A and B are shown apart, each in its own frame.
Chain A
Amino acid sequence: MENLSSKYGKTLNLDKLTSYCPGCGHGIVTRLVGEAIEELGVMERTIAVVGIGCGGFSHHYMDIDAIEATHGRSPSFAVGYKLAMPENIVFTYAGDGDTCAIGLGDLMHAANKGMPITTIMVNNTVFGMTGGQMSPTTLEGQVTATSVKGRDISSQGYPLLVPEMMQSMAGVKYLARESVDSPKAIRKAKKSIRKAFECQVKGLGYAFVEVIVPCPTGLKMRVKDSYERCANEMTDYFKPQVFKDETEQGDVA
């Protein structure tokens, strides 16, 4: 068998089969995160703070120290860690439920503090691990186990646009939404995730990337259909874009 680490580097642990479901977008995002860490050469001083849910699996496929935080609190864990150990690179990785349901308060205050921390939010519009319940990013009319007639915006609100909420925060230095619906989109996502880490390596401030991904299992869809949904309905509402990029200042330390 080809030595994969010579191709992908040491950060990604390719000896393990992932426990992500077939077609899950987490596998792509996990790889992009691993590649960014590898390319920046910061593996030995990078710490993953992962959330509860499928996103919590992500660190198992990277040979870096990791902390599985309490549900939604990864950003606060990262703030405490970064204060005590500013020389290390700290990133949080979690899904939409962990990041913007139970953890929205922690996320917004961590972002507003503007400490050099990187957050990756993997948005598949559903609570995947617990079996497909409505999340704050569930689309209008989307049928889930807990919105059986479709999300009713009159009482359940509109899908939450998280990076848009951070736009006015001066401490946020890199802010983007990406998707994994096509090879082209994945290449763009890779660039944004790398910038989000670079932003921290340069010590500039908070960096946030939301990645729109499919969850065929939680949505009860075929893999192909779930990627089509990702390319159409999901990204029609969650529009991929770089909201803010102030990473051109400073050198990679």
Chain B
Amino acid sequence: MTQETLFLKNTETFAESLARCGVKYHFAYPITPATDVMKRMAVILPQYGGQMMQMESELAVSSALAGAACTGKLAATSSSGPGLTLMHEAIGFMCAAELPCIVFDSMRVGPGDGDILGAQSDYYVVTRGGGHGDYHTIVLAPSSGQEIADIMPHGVRLAYKYRAPVLFVLDGVSAQTTESTTLPAYNDYSAEFDTSEWAFTGTKDHAKRALITGSYTHQDGYEMNEMLRAKYEVIRNNEQMWEQEQVEDAELVVAAFGIHGRMCRDMVAKMRAEGRKVGFIRPITLWPFPDNAFEALPESVKNILVVEMNHGQMVDDVRLAVNGRVPVHFMGKTGGDQPMHTLAEMITEANRILGE
């Protein structure tokens, strides 16, 4: 496939980006608002010599994904909140087993069955590991179709560099937005990495390899846990990503990811035109959280406003990052007929804080 610009739903852009970056196998179970990824994968993967396999549940999806990942080949899945909950069994397994893969969560609203409305309600579950035991997954949160396409090579490289699942999260609003995106030419980024050192491909060229994640006692088990801790520390120190604008002299910094992060650009432009000293920080990695962006805030910043499509989840990480140095305010809305705050509401709240 050559480079081309298409007018696509961002879920479809996600599928195209996966296939064009080397994903050969995709496992999934239908769920709104993520189904368009598996639908498009079913059509396009055979063109790349791969296959989309529909499984009977998300438990089976993530298990099959783990099985495919054992071969060293690049595989992916796509789902939404309730499906992601089931997938956490094997996502945690793959973190312990050090297996690379790509997971996509198109976030919807509410606990329980939830509803199909877009939201940012899975921030906690994706940034805190998600299952039992001490582990993290790398979480990337692009906010547009173009950013999905642009960041996918990096996502694949992170998965192989750290031999770990990489999660992409989009609020269902961003995921279902249709927009023009320039898709890259085909390039298998996983081919940059030598998997022959660890993949479970048979003993033809190596001594027996056994994938065991159920042994944390004794010295070797302790060392395995410590190795994971050290790996997460390296990721924390090296892989923080964010976008920021006009922070240098800002009195108020707005922090948001996904669709709200994208709205910050208009918000800051409008308020700057009115002489308001406002800047924004848009985290692109949710884990590792971009602490460095908040630690480097200038003295001019007197307040931070966090905007989310939930009841306040990322705001906790902002508070941890500034550690009491700056007051952190929160506004968030989820569910209902208009499941998020409007740009006008964000500006009104920012002006209220500036006027305090």
Contacts and interface: CB of A to CB of B under 8 A. Distances in A.
A65 B64 contact: no
Interface string A33-46: 00000000001111
Contact of B68 (A44, A84, A88): A84
Given A81-B71, A109-B55, A88 B202 contact: yes
A141 interface: no
Contacts of B93: 69-70
B63 A52 contact: no
Contacts of B207: 63
A106 B90 CA distance: 13
B25 interface: yes
A143 interface: no
A74 to B, nearest CB: 8
B212 A68 contact: yes
A106 B60 contact: yes
A43 B203 contact: yes
Contact of A69 (B63, B203, B209): B63
Interface in B314-343: none
From DSSP, what is the main secondary structure of chain A's interface residues? helix
A65 B209 contact: yes
Q: Which of the four size classes fits the interface of chain A?
A: 20 to 34
- Greatest chain B CB density within 10 A among A47, A59, A82 is at A47
Contact of B200 (A43, A65, A82): A65
Given A45-B202, A49-B67, A105-B56, A83 B214 contact: no
Contacts of A85: 71, 73, 201
A80 B63 contact: yes
Contacts of B67: 49, 67, 69, 76-82, 84
17 contacts: A45-B202, A52-B214, A60-B210, A65-B201, A66-B200, A66-B211, A68-B213, A69-B67, A73-B60, A73-B63, A76-B59, A79-B60, A80-B53, A80-B63, A80-B66, A83-B53, A109-B60
Contacts of A80: 25, 27, 53, 63-70, 75
Contacts of B292: none
A105 B90 contact: no
A59 B64 contact: no
Nearest to A66: B210
Nearest to B208: A63
A79 B209 contact: no
A66 to B, nearest CB: 5
Contacts of A83: 25, 51, 53, 64, 68
A29 interface: no
A67 B70 contact: yes
A47 B60 contact: no
Contacts of A77: 63-64, 66-67, 70
B210 A68 contact: yes
Contacts of A68: 210-214
List the 3 closest pairs (A to B, CB-CB), nearest first.
Answer: A80-B67, A80-B64, A76-B63
Interface of B: 24-25, 27, 51, 53, 55-57, 59-60, 63-71, 73, 75, 89-90, 93, 200-204, 207-214
Contacts of A66: 200, 208-211
Contacts of A212: none
Interface string A164-177: 00000000000000
B165 to A, nearest CB: 14
A182 B25 CA distance: 45
Nearest to B214: A68
B214 A44 contact: no
Contacts of B203: 43-44, 63-65
A66 B200 CA distance: 7
B202 A65 contact: yes
- Greatest chain A CB density within 10 A among B27, B55, B67 is at B67
Nearest to A42: B202
A129 to B, nearest CB: 11
B210 A84 contact: no
A49 to B, nearest CB: 7
Contacts of A44: 202-204
Contacts of A106: 56, 59-60, 63
A82 B51 CA distance: 12
A73 B59 contact: yes
A83 B67 CA distance: 9
Nearest to A81: B67
Contacts of B204: 44-45
A65 B210 contact: yes
A230 B90 CA distance: 36
Contact of B90 (A43, A45, A73, A109): A73
Nearest to B74: A84
Contacts of B212: 68
